[in-house]
Amino acid sequence: MTTFTERVVRIIQSVPAGKVMTYGQIAALAGNPRGARQVVRILHSMSQKYDLPWHRIINAKGEIAIKDDEGSFTQKDRLISEGIVLTEAGKVNLIHYRYHPTTEWIPEEY
């Protein structure tokens, strides 16, 4: 596993219930501000293995990025069950629900 991937996994694991982060936010924090698509791939391939709270990761517009109806419904349902209120358009208010982790988890080599 690459250092970037390890960082992404740890960041995603740190997102508490009732909060969200964006793909780009995670990529930047992990050291690659242009790596949002890599975060998507990591979520897709490693969510089960590392029990990642994949449903807490959304796009920069506060939208659910999953296109299929079942996946989108599941993500919305999980967010709502954690107390996140979605707008009528199905968006998450990032000002209210975005998680800003402390840098305490970041190892010395950063």
Ordered by start, the domain boundaries in the chain are 3-101
CATH code for the domain defined by 3-101:
1.10.10.10
Report CA Rg, the chain: 13
pLDDT at 110: 39
Say which amino acid occupies 34: R
pLDDT averaged over the chain?
92
Residue 108 has pLDDT above 50, yes or no: no
d(CA 33, CA 51): 24
Return the number of other C-beta atoms located less than 10 Å from residue 77's C-beta: 11
pLDDT band (50, 70, 90) for residue 104:
low
CB of 2 within 8 A of CB of 31?
no
Question: How confident is the model over 22-58, as pLDDT tens digits?
Answer: 999 999 999 999 999 999 999 999 999 999 999 999 9
